Structure 1
Protein backbone atom coordinates (compact mmCIF):
# COMPACT_ATOMS: atom_id res chain seq x y z
CA UNK A 1 0.00 0.00 0.00
CA UNK A 2 1.38 3.41 -0.99
CA UNK A 3 2.07 5.82 1.85
CA UNK A 4 0.45 9.20 1.26
CA UNK A 5 2.52 12.25 0.49
CA UNK A 6 2.16 14.89 3.20
CA UNK A 7 1.76 18.43 1.83
CA UNK A 8 2.11 21.19 4.42
CA UNK A 9 0.74 24.69 3.78
CA UNK A 10 1.98 27.50 6.02
CA UNK A 11 -0.06 30.47 7.17
CA UNK A 12 0.38 34.21 7.30
CA UNK A 13 3.54 35.75 8.76
CA UNK A 14 5.38 32.48 8.17
CA UNK A 15 7.02 30.47 5.42
CA UNK A 16 7.63 26.80 4.72
CA UNK A 17 10.40 26.68 7.35
CA UNK A 18 7.70 26.79 10.03
CA UNK A 19 7.20 23.09 9.19
CA UNK A 20 10.87 22.11 9.56
CA UNK A 21 10.52 20.04 12.73
CA UNK A 22 7.35 18.38 11.43
CA UNK A 23 8.99 17.53 8.11
CA UNK A 24 11.99 15.99 9.86
CA UNK A 25 9.74 13.87 12.06
CA UNK A 26 7.64 12.67 9.13
CA UNK A 27 10.68 11.82 7.02
CA UNK A 28 12.15 9.85 9.92
CA UNK A 29 8.96 7.79 9.78
CA UNK A 30 9.35 7.13 6.07
CA UNK A 31 6.94 9.71 4.64
CA UNK A 32 7.57 12.13 1.83
CA UNK A 33 6.73 15.65 3.00
CA UNK A 34 6.50 18.74 0.82
CA UNK A 35 5.97 22.33 1.96
CA UNK A 36 5.13 24.64 -0.96
CA UNK A 37 4.97 28.41 -0.60
CA UNK A 38 1.63 29.96 0.22
CA UNK A 39 1.36 33.18 -1.77
CA UNK A 40 -0.71 35.00 0.89
CA UNK A 41 -2.48 37.14 -1.71
CA UNK A 42 -6.07 35.89 -1.56
CA UNK A 43 -7.99 32.68 -0.97
CA UNK A 44 -8.90 32.04 -4.61
CA UNK A 45 -5.43 32.60 -6.06
CA UNK A 46 -3.61 30.96 -3.15
CA UNK A 47 -5.82 27.86 -3.36
CA UNK A 48 -5.38 27.71 -7.13
CA UNK A 49 -1.62 27.73 -6.67
CA UNK A 50 -1.69 24.91 -4.11
CA UNK A 51 -4.09 22.88 -6.26
CA UNK A 52 -1.71 23.31 -9.19
CA UNK A 53 1.18 22.20 -6.99
CA UNK A 54 -0.76 19.10 -5.95
CA UNK A 55 -1.53 18.19 -9.56
CA UNK A 56 2.05 18.59 -10.72
CA UNK A 57 4.18 17.64 -7.73
CA UNK A 58 2.36 14.70 -6.15
CA UNK A 59 1.32 11.23 -7.26
CA UNK A 60 -0.89 8.91 -5.26
CA UNK A 61 -2.82 9.80 -2.12
CA UNK A 62 -2.16 13.06 -0.28
CA UNK A 63 -2.69 14.27 3.27
CA UNK A 64 -3.08 18.04 3.03
CA UNK A 65 -2.15 20.04 6.13
CA UNK A 66 -2.73 23.73 6.84
CA UNK A 67 -1.68 26.10 9.60
CA UNK A 68 -3.66 29.24 10.45
CA UNK A 69 -4.67 30.98 7.17
CA UNK A 70 -3.31 27.87 5.46
CA UNK A 71 -6.52 26.24 6.68
CA UNK A 72 -8.48 28.57 4.40
CA UNK A 73 -6.23 27.60 1.53
CA UNK A 74 -6.42 23.82 1.96
CA UNK A 75 -10.20 24.02 2.44
CA UNK A 76 -10.41 25.58 -1.01
CA UNK A 77 -7.58 23.67 -2.73
CA UNK A 78 -8.19 20.07 -1.71
CA UNK A 79 -10.80 19.26 -4.34
CA UNK A 80 -8.98 21.16 -7.10
CA UNK A 81 -5.92 19.01 -7.66
CA UNK A 82 -4.20 15.83 -6.59
CA UNK A 83 -5.71 12.88 -4.75
CA UNK A 84 -6.35 14.46 -1.36
CA UNK A 85 -7.68 11.85 1.06
CA UNK A 86 -7.42 13.68 4.41
CA UNK A 87 -7.18 17.22 5.76
CA UNK A 88 -5.28 18.25 8.89
CA UNK A 89 -5.76 21.66 10.47
CA UNK A 90 -3.10 22.93 12.90
CA UNK A 91 -4.22 26.00 14.89
CA UNK A 92 -6.13 26.81 11.74
CA UNK A 93 -9.19 28.36 10.21
CA UNK A 94 -11.69 25.76 8.99
CA UNK A 95 -14.10 27.99 7.08
CA UNK A 96 -17.51 27.28 5.67
CA UNK A 97 -18.63 28.74 2.36
CA UNK A 98 -18.83 32.53 2.42
CA UNK A 99 -16.83 33.00 5.61
CA UNK A 100 -13.71 35.15 5.74
CA UNK A 101 -10.88 35.71 8.21
CA UNK A 102 -11.96 39.02 9.73
CA UNK A 103 -15.52 37.74 10.10
CA UNK A 104 -14.41 34.62 11.98
CA UNK A 105 -12.11 36.58 14.29
CA UNK A 106 -14.61 39.35 14.97
CA UNK A 107 -15.87 39.09 18.53
CA UNK A 108 -13.72 36.02 19.21
CA UNK A 109 -11.33 37.67 21.63
CA UNK A 110 -8.44 37.32 19.20
CA UNK A 111 -5.44 39.54 19.86
CA UNK A 112 -5.84 40.68 16.24
CA UNK A 113 -9.52 41.63 16.58
CA UNK A 114 -8.92 45.11 17.97
CA UNK A 115 -10.55 48.48 17.18
CA UNK A 116 -7.32 49.88 15.72
CA UNK A 117 -5.42 47.21 13.74
CA UNK A 118 -2.34 49.42 13.57
CA UNK A 119 -1.75 48.72 17.26
CA UNK A 120 -0.90 45.09 16.41
CA UNK A 121 0.00 45.26 12.71
CA UNK A 122 2.28 47.34 10.51
CA UNK A 123 0.36 48.18 7.32
CA UNK A 124 2.45 48.95 4.23
CA UNK A 125 1.82 49.38 0.53
CA UNK A 126 3.11 47.01 -2.12
CA UNK A 127 3.73 47.40 -5.87
CA UNK A 128 0.75 46.55 -8.05
CA UNK A 129 -1.71 46.55 -5.15
CA UNK A 130 -5.37 47.00 -6.06
CA UNK A 131 -6.74 50.30 -4.81
CA UNK A 132 -7.18 50.19 -1.05
CA UNK A 133 -5.14 47.04 -0.50
CA UNK A 134 -1.93 46.76 1.50
CA UNK A 135 0.26 44.21 3.23
CA UNK A 136 0.12 43.51 6.96
CA UNK A 137 3.15 42.60 9.07
CA UNK A 138 2.97 41.65 12.73
CA UNK A 139 4.48 44.20 15.09
CA UNK A 140 7.36 42.73 17.12
CA UNK A 141 5.29 43.05 20.29
CA UNK A 142 2.47 41.04 18.69
CA UNK A 143 4.87 38.22 17.79
CA UNK A 144 6.37 38.12 21.28
CA UNK A 145 3.14 38.45 23.25
CA UNK A 146 0.38 36.91 21.12
CA UNK A 147 1.63 34.95 18.10
CA UNK A 148 4.55 32.82 19.30
CA UNK A 149 4.72 33.50 23.01
CA UNK A 150 5.80 29.94 23.90
CA UNK A 151 8.94 30.00 21.73
CA UNK A 152 12.38 30.98 22.99
CA UNK A 153 13.11 34.68 22.62
CA UNK A 154 15.68 34.16 19.87
CA UNK A 155 13.15 32.13 17.89
CA UNK A 156 10.52 34.85 18.32
CA UNK A 157 13.08 37.36 17.06
CA UNK A 158 13.54 35.19 13.95
CA UNK A 159 9.78 35.20 13.36
CA UNK A 160 9.81 38.98 13.53
CA UNK A 161 12.71 39.22 11.08
CA UNK A 162 11.57 36.62 8.54
CA UNK A 163 7.76 36.93 8.55
CA UNK A 164 6.00 37.04 5.19
CA UNK A 165 3.12 39.52 5.08
CA UNK A 166 -0.43 38.78 4.06
CA UNK A 167 -2.59 41.22 2.11
CA UNK A 168 -5.53 42.84 3.84
CA UNK A 169 -7.71 41.67 0.95
CA UNK A 170 -6.86 38.03 1.70
CA UNK A 171 -8.52 38.50 5.07
CA UNK A 172 -11.76 39.72 3.54
CA UNK A 173 -12.04 37.21 0.67
CA UNK A 174 -14.79 34.63 1.19
CA UNK A 175 -14.20 30.91 1.18
CA UNK A 176 -15.76 28.74 -1.50
CA UNK A 177 -17.45 25.37 -0.91
CA UNK A 178 -15.41 23.59 1.77
CA UNK A 179 -13.50 20.40 1.04
CA UNK A 180 -14.08 19.15 4.60
CA UNK A 181 -17.66 18.33 3.65
CA UNK A 182 -16.38 15.47 1.51
CA UNK A 183 -12.88 14.75 2.91
CA UNK A 184 -12.27 13.56 6.50
CA UNK A 185 -10.40 15.98 8.71
CA UNK A 186 -8.27 16.21 11.86
CA UNK A 187 -7.53 19.29 13.94
CA UNK A 188 -4.96 20.33 16.53
CA UNK A 189 -6.21 23.09 18.82
CA UNK A 190 -3.67 25.18 20.72
CA UNK A 191 -5.26 25.99 24.06
CA UNK A 192 -3.00 29.02 24.53
CA UNK A 193 -3.63 30.36 21.03
CA UNK A 194 -4.26 34.11 21.18
CA UNK A 195 -4.64 34.59 17.41
CA UNK A 196 -7.43 32.08 16.75
CA UNK A 197 -8.82 31.49 20.24
CA UNK A 198 -9.31 27.83 21.17
CA UNK A 199 -13.08 28.14 21.47
CA UNK A 200 -13.22 29.41 17.90
CA UNK A 201 -10.96 26.61 16.69
CA UNK A 202 -13.03 23.96 18.46
CA UNK A 203 -16.29 25.33 17.05
CA UNK A 204 -14.98 25.17 13.48
CA UNK A 205 -13.40 21.73 14.01
CA UNK A 206 -16.58 20.29 15.50
CA UNK A 207 -18.65 21.69 12.64
CA UNK A 208 -16.31 19.97 10.18
CA UNK A 209 -16.57 16.67 12.08
CA UNK A 210 -12.83 16.71 12.68
CA UNK A 211 -10.97 14.43 15.06
CA UNK A 212 -9.67 16.94 17.59
CA UNK A 213 -6.45 16.96 19.61
CA UNK A 214 -5.62 19.72 22.09
CA UNK A 215 -2.16 20.94 23.07
CA UNK A 216 -1.13 23.56 25.60
CA UNK A 217 0.58 25.78 23.07
CA UNK A 218 0.49 29.09 21.22
CA UNK A 219 -0.65 29.75 17.67
CA UNK A 220 2.53 28.09 16.38
CA UNK A 221 2.14 24.73 18.11
CA UNK A 222 3.75 22.92 15.17
CA UNK A 223 6.96 24.77 16.08
CA UNK A 224 6.76 24.53 19.88
CA UNK A 225 5.16 21.04 20.02
CA UNK A 226 5.84 19.39 16.63
CA UNK A 227 5.15 15.88 17.91
CA UNK A 228 1.48 16.75 18.42
CA UNK A 229 1.14 17.90 14.83
CA UNK A 230 3.02 14.82 13.66
CA UNK A 231 0.71 12.50 15.61
CA UNK A 232 -2.38 14.11 14.06
CA UNK A 233 -0.88 13.79 10.59
CA UNK A 234 0.03 10.14 11.22
CA UNK A 235 -3.55 9.46 12.33
CA UNK A 236 -4.85 11.03 9.13
CA UNK A 237 -2.31 9.08 7.04
CA UNK A 238 -3.35 5.82 8.69
CA UNK A 239 -6.92 6.39 7.47
CA UNK A 240 -5.88 6.68 3.83
Structure 2
Protein backbone atom coordinates (compact mmCIF):
# COMPACT_ATOMS: atom_id res chain seq x y z
CA UNK A 1 0.00 0.00 0.00
CA UNK A 2 2.79 2.42 0.97
CA UNK A 3 4.73 1.70 -2.21
CA UNK A 4 1.61 2.17 -4.35
CA UNK A 5 0.92 5.51 -2.72
CA UNK A 6 4.55 6.57 -3.30
CA UNK A 7 4.32 5.66 -6.96
CA UNK A 8 0.95 7.41 -7.19
CA UNK A 9 2.35 10.59 -5.71
CA UNK A 10 5.48 10.56 -7.90
CA UNK A 11 4.14 12.67 -10.79
CA UNK A 12 2.91 15.36 -8.39
CA UNK A 13 6.22 15.29 -6.49
CA UNK A 14 8.17 15.65 -9.73
CA UNK A 15 6.00 18.58 -10.76
CA UNK A 16 6.70 20.34 -7.48
CA UNK A 17 10.43 19.56 -7.75
CA UNK A 18 10.65 20.94 -11.30
CA UNK A 19 8.84 24.09 -10.22
CA UNK A 20 11.19 24.58 -7.26
CA UNK A 21 14.28 23.96 -9.39
CA UNK A 22 12.97 26.42 -11.94
CA UNK A 23 12.80 29.11 -9.28
CA UNK A 24 16.31 28.27 -8.07
CA UNK A 25 17.85 28.33 -11.54
CA UNK A 26 16.06 31.58 -12.34
CA UNK A 27 17.55 33.13 -9.23
CA UNK A 28 21.12 32.20 -10.18
CA UNK A 29 20.95 32.79 -13.95
CA UNK A 30 23.08 35.92 -14.27
CA UNK A 31 21.98 38.19 -17.05
CA UNK A 32 18.65 37.03 -18.33
CA UNK A 33 16.92 36.84 -14.96
CA UNK A 34 17.69 40.35 -13.82
CA UNK A 35 17.34 41.80 -17.31
CA UNK A 36 14.22 40.42 -19.02
CA UNK A 37 15.04 42.24 -22.27
CA UNK A 38 18.09 40.06 -22.81
CA UNK A 39 21.55 39.26 -21.47
CA UNK A 40 24.04 41.95 -20.59
CA UNK A 41 26.44 42.81 -23.40
CA UNK A 42 30.15 42.37 -23.43
CA UNK A 43 31.73 45.75 -22.77
CA UNK A 44 34.91 46.25 -24.81
CA UNK A 45 37.15 49.07 -23.58
CA UNK A 46 39.71 50.55 -25.99
CA UNK A 47 42.48 52.71 -24.56
CA UNK A 48 44.02 55.71 -26.23
CA UNK A 49 47.47 57.14 -26.87
CA UNK A 50 50.16 57.28 -24.16
CA UNK A 51 48.18 54.73 -22.15
CA UNK A 52 47.39 51.04 -21.97
CA UNK A 53 44.57 48.83 -20.76
CA UNK A 54 45.34 49.58 -17.13
CA UNK A 55 43.90 53.07 -17.64
CA UNK A 56 40.49 51.36 -17.59
CA UNK A 57 41.10 49.50 -14.31
CA UNK A 58 38.68 51.47 -12.12
CA UNK A 59 35.94 51.32 -14.76
CA UNK A 60 36.62 47.63 -15.39
CA UNK A 61 36.27 46.81 -11.69
CA UNK A 62 32.93 48.60 -11.46
CA UNK A 63 31.54 46.89 -14.54
CA UNK A 64 32.64 43.47 -13.28
CA UNK A 65 31.01 44.17 -9.92
CA UNK A 66 27.80 44.99 -11.81
CA UNK A 67 27.84 41.66 -13.62
CA UNK A 68 29.23 42.63 -17.01
CA UNK A 69 31.68 40.68 -19.10
CA UNK A 70 34.54 43.08 -19.88
CA UNK A 71 37.37 42.84 -22.40
CA UNK A 72 40.23 45.31 -22.73
CA UNK A 73 42.20 44.48 -25.88
CA UNK A 74 45.54 46.21 -26.53
CA UNK A 75 45.46 49.09 -28.99
CA UNK A 76 48.69 48.91 -31.07
CA UNK A 77 48.91 52.73 -31.54
CA UNK A 78 50.60 52.32 -34.92
CA UNK A 79 48.13 53.40 -37.61
CA UNK A 80 44.44 54.22 -37.48
CA UNK A 81 43.80 51.75 -40.29
CA UNK A 82 45.60 48.80 -38.73
CA UNK A 83 44.65 49.67 -35.14
CA UNK A 84 40.99 49.71 -36.17
CA UNK A 85 41.43 46.44 -38.04
CA UNK A 86 42.98 44.88 -34.92
CA UNK A 87 39.98 45.84 -32.77
CA UNK A 88 37.55 44.91 -35.56
CA UNK A 89 38.98 41.39 -35.74
CA UNK A 90 38.91 41.10 -31.95
CA UNK A 91 35.25 42.02 -31.55
CA UNK A 92 34.37 39.71 -34.46
CA UNK A 93 35.32 36.79 -32.21
CA UNK A 94 32.77 37.80 -29.56
CA UNK A 95 29.23 36.46 -29.54
CA UNK A 96 26.21 38.40 -28.42
CA UNK A 97 25.70 42.15 -28.02
CA UNK A 98 28.65 44.50 -27.54
CA UNK A 99 29.03 47.98 -26.09
CA UNK A 100 32.22 49.42 -27.59
CA UNK A 101 33.95 52.15 -25.60
CA UNK A 102 36.91 54.30 -26.64
CA UNK A 103 39.01 56.83 -24.76
CA UNK A 104 40.91 59.59 -26.58
CA UNK A 105 42.47 58.11 -29.77
CA UNK A 106 40.58 54.93 -28.90
CA UNK A 107 37.46 56.86 -29.91
CA UNK A 108 38.77 57.11 -33.47
CA UNK A 109 39.54 53.40 -33.40
CA UNK A 110 36.03 52.36 -32.35
CA UNK A 111 34.55 54.77 -34.90
CA UNK A 112 36.17 52.63 -37.59
CA UNK A 113 36.24 49.20 -35.94
CA UNK A 114 32.49 48.96 -35.31
CA UNK A 115 31.40 49.77 -38.85
CA UNK A 116 29.44 46.87 -40.29
CA UNK A 117 29.35 44.77 -37.10
CA UNK A 118 25.68 44.14 -36.19
CA UNK A 119 26.61 42.97 -32.68
CA UNK A 120 27.82 46.42 -31.64
CA UNK A 121 24.73 47.98 -30.09
CA UNK A 122 26.26 51.17 -28.69
CA UNK A 123 29.36 53.31 -28.93
CA UNK A 124 30.63 55.26 -25.93
CA UNK A 125 33.24 57.99 -26.30
CA UNK A 126 35.20 59.13 -23.25
CA UNK A 127 37.06 62.35 -24.06
CA UNK A 128 37.38 60.71 -27.45
CA UNK A 129 38.01 61.52 -31.07
CA UNK A 130 35.00 60.86 -33.28
CA UNK A 131 36.25 61.62 -36.80
CA UNK A 132 34.19 61.87 -39.95
CA UNK A 133 35.28 60.01 -43.07
CA UNK A 134 38.52 61.40 -44.46
CA UNK A 135 39.46 63.36 -41.34
CA UNK A 136 42.77 62.95 -39.52
CA UNK A 137 43.22 63.08 -35.77
CA UNK A 138 45.63 65.89 -34.95
CA UNK A 139 43.43 68.78 -36.19
CA UNK A 140 40.45 67.44 -34.22
CA UNK A 141 42.17 68.19 -30.89
CA UNK A 142 41.02 71.78 -31.32
CA UNK A 143 42.57 75.22 -31.17
CA UNK A 144 43.96 75.71 -27.70
CA UNK A 145 44.88 72.06 -27.19
CA UNK A 146 48.18 71.44 -25.46
CA UNK A 147 49.12 69.51 -28.60
CA UNK A 148 48.36 72.39 -30.98
CA UNK A 149 51.80 73.95 -30.61
CA UNK A 150 55.31 73.35 -31.91
CA UNK A 151 55.57 69.52 -31.79
CA UNK A 152 59.16 69.73 -30.54
CA UNK A 153 57.92 71.37 -27.34
CA UNK A 154 55.50 68.57 -26.39
CA UNK A 155 56.91 65.38 -27.93
CA UNK A 156 60.05 63.30 -27.70
CA UNK A 157 60.64 61.69 -31.12
CA UNK A 158 61.91 58.10 -31.04
CA UNK A 159 62.55 55.92 -34.12
CA UNK A 160 61.07 52.44 -34.13
CA UNK A 161 62.01 49.34 -36.17
CA UNK A 162 60.08 48.82 -39.40
CA UNK A 163 58.58 52.30 -39.36
CA UNK A 164 57.30 53.73 -42.65
CA UNK A 165 59.55 56.43 -44.06
CA UNK A 166 59.39 59.53 -41.87
CA UNK A 167 57.39 57.93 -39.07
CA UNK A 168 58.47 57.99 -35.42
CA UNK A 169 57.06 57.17 -32.03
CA UNK A 170 55.76 60.15 -30.08
CA UNK A 171 56.28 60.27 -26.32
CA UNK A 172 54.82 63.12 -24.33
CA UNK A 173 57.41 65.27 -22.61
CA UNK A 174 57.26 65.22 -18.84
CA UNK A 175 55.58 68.60 -18.31
CA UNK A 176 52.99 67.99 -21.02
CA UNK A 177 52.14 64.58 -19.64
CA UNK A 178 51.87 65.57 -16.00
CA UNK A 179 50.30 69.02 -16.36
CA UNK A 180 48.11 68.60 -19.46
CA UNK A 181 47.50 64.94 -20.29
CA UNK A 182 47.07 63.96 -16.62
CA UNK A 183 45.56 67.21 -15.41
CA UNK A 184 43.27 66.54 -12.46
CA UNK A 185 45.08 63.33 -11.54
CA UNK A 186 46.84 63.56 -8.16
CA UNK A 187 50.43 64.64 -8.78
CA UNK A 188 51.98 61.50 -7.33
CA UNK A 189 49.80 59.30 -9.52
CA UNK A 190 50.58 61.40 -12.60
CA UNK A 191 54.30 61.05 -11.91
CA UNK A 192 53.84 57.28 -11.67
CA UNK A 193 51.99 57.12 -14.99
CA UNK A 194 54.53 59.18 -16.92
CA UNK A 195 57.39 56.62 -17.10
CA UNK A 196 55.15 53.84 -18.44
CA UNK A 197 53.34 55.80 -21.14
CA UNK A 198 52.95 53.88 -24.40
CA UNK A 199 54.07 55.82 -27.47
CA UNK A 200 51.76 56.76 -30.32
CA UNK A 201 53.12 56.65 -33.85
CA UNK A 202 53.14 60.01 -35.61
CA UNK A 203 51.59 58.39 -38.69
CA UNK A 204 48.51 57.30 -36.73
CA UNK A 205 47.59 60.94 -36.17
CA UNK A 206 47.71 61.60 -39.92
CA UNK A 207 45.89 58.49 -41.17
CA UNK A 208 42.50 59.36 -42.74
CA UNK A 209 39.49 57.87 -41.01
CA UNK A 210 37.01 55.63 -42.79
CA UNK A 211 33.18 55.55 -42.78
CA UNK A 212 32.11 56.29 -39.19
CA UNK A 213 30.10 53.70 -37.28
CA UNK A 214 28.21 56.40 -35.38
CA UNK A 215 26.03 57.08 -38.44
CA UNK A 216 24.30 53.72 -37.90
CA UNK A 217 25.03 52.87 -34.23
CA UNK A 218 23.71 55.01 -31.34
CA UNK A 219 26.43 56.74 -29.35
CA UNK A 220 27.07 58.34 -25.97
CA UNK A 221 29.77 60.87 -25.16
CA UNK A 222 31.46 61.65 -21.83
CA UNK A 223 32.83 65.19 -22.22
CA UNK A 224 35.56 66.37 -19.86
CA UNK A 225 34.97 70.07 -19.33
CA UNK A 226 38.58 70.58 -18.12
CA UNK A 227 40.30 68.58 -20.86
CA UNK A 228 43.54 70.19 -22.07
CA UNK A 229 44.31 67.60 -24.77
CA UNK A 230 41.02 67.54 -26.72
CA UNK A 231 39.39 70.85 -25.95
CA UNK A 232 35.82 70.80 -24.62
CA UNK A 233 34.73 72.79 -27.68
CA UNK A 234 36.26 70.20 -30.01
CA UNK A 235 34.62 67.39 -28.06
CA UNK A 236 31.25 69.12 -28.21
CA UNK A 237 31.58 69.59 -31.98
CA UNK A 238 32.36 65.90 -32.56
CA UNK A 239 29.72 64.65 -30.10
CA UNK A 240 27.03 66.87 -31.62
CA UNK A 241 27.93 65.82 -35.15
CA UNK A 242 27.75 62.15 -34.14
CA UNK A 243 24.36 62.81 -32.48
CA UNK A 244 25.71 61.39 -29.25
CA UNK A 245 23.96 61.68 -25.93
CA UNK A 246 26.33 63.96 -24.03
CA UNK A 247 27.28 63.79 -20.35
CA UNK A 248 29.59 66.54 -19.09
CA UNK A 249 31.92 65.80 -16.21
CA UNK A 250 34.30 68.23 -14.43
CA UNK A 251 37.44 66.34 -15.40
CA UNK A 252 40.57 66.56 -17.49
CA UNK A 253 41.59 64.15 -20.24
CA UNK A 254 41.81 61.18 -17.88
CA UNK A 255 38.22 61.22 -16.65
CA UNK A 256 38.21 57.42 -16.81
CA UNK A 257 40.73 57.53 -13.93
CA UNK A 258 39.46 60.52 -11.94
CA UNK A 259 35.71 60.01 -12.48
CA UNK A 260 35.33 56.25 -13.06
CA UNK A 261 31.89 56.11 -11.44
CA UNK A 262 30.45 58.68 -13.83
CA UNK A 263 32.05 56.99 -16.84
CA UNK A 264 30.72 53.58 -15.76
CA UNK A 265 27.24 55.02 -15.30
CA UNK A 266 27.18 56.28 -18.91
CA UNK A 267 28.34 52.90 -20.24
CA UNK A 268 25.56 51.17 -18.34
CA UNK A 269 23.04 53.76 -19.55
CA UNK A 270 24.07 52.97 -23.12
CA UNK A 271 23.54 49.26 -22.44
CA UNK A 272 20.06 49.73 -20.96
CA UNK A 273 18.96 52.10 -23.71
CA UNK A 274 19.86 49.69 -26.50
CA UNK A 275 18.37 46.50 -25.07
- Tell me the distance in 2 between the aligned counterparts of 1:53 and 1:173: 21
Larger RCO (CA under 8 A, 6+ residues apart): 1
- Tell me the distance in 1 between the aligned counterparts of 2:240 and 2:118: 26
1:156 to 190, 195, 202: 190
Number of aligned positions between the proteins: 237
1:183 to 209, 217, 221: 217
Contact in 1 for aligned 2:183/2:228 (Cα 8 Å): no
Comparing 143-152 and 45-54, the one that deviates more: 143-152
Q: 1:16 to 1:82 in 2, by over 3 A?
A: farther
- Tell me the distance in 2 between the aligned counterparts of 1:80 and 1:163: 32
Aligned pairs (5 A) from 1:97-112: 97-105=133-141, 108-112=143-147
In the alignment, which residue of structure 2 is the partner of 1:23? 60
- Tell me the distance in 2 between the aligned counterparts of 1:108 and 1:204: 14
- Tell me the distance in 1 between the aligned counterparts of 2:184 and 2:177: 10
Cα deviation for residue 144 of structure 1 reads 1.3
Which structure 2 segments of 5+ residues have no match?
Answer: 1-37
In the alignment, which residue of structure 1 is the partner of 2:127? 91
- Tell me the distance in 1 between the aligned counterparts of 2:235 and 2:194: 24
- Tell me the distance in 2 between the aligned counterparts of 1:217 and 1:126: 33
In the alignment, which residue of structure 1 is the partner of 2:161? 127
Deviations along 1:16-39, one digit per CA (max 9) or x if unpaired, are: 000000000001111111110000
Answer with 1 or 2: which has the greater Rg: 2
2:173 to 117, 139, 142: 139
Contact in 2 for aligned 1:181/1:208 (Cα 8 Å): yes
In the alignment, which residue of structure 2 is the partner of 1:224? 258
Deviations along 1:18-75, one digit per CA (max 9) or x if unpaired, are: 000000000111111111000001111001000111012x210000000000010000
In the alignment, which residue of structure 1 is the partner of 2:84? 47
- Tell me the distance in 2 between the aligned counterparts of 1:7 and 1:88: 10
Other structure's SS at 2:67 match: coil
Cα deviation for residue 103 of structure 1 reads 2.3
Structure (1 or 2) with the greater helix fraction? 2
- Tell me the distance in 2 between the aligned counterparts of 1:157 and 1:82: 41
Structure 1 moving runs of 4+ over 3 Å: none
Other structure's SS at 1:17 match: helix
Contact in 2 for aligned 1:59/1:82 (Cα 8 Å): no
- Tell me the distance in 2 between the aligned counterparts of 1:155 and 1:80: 39
Comparing 93-102 and 180-189, the one that deviates more: 93-102
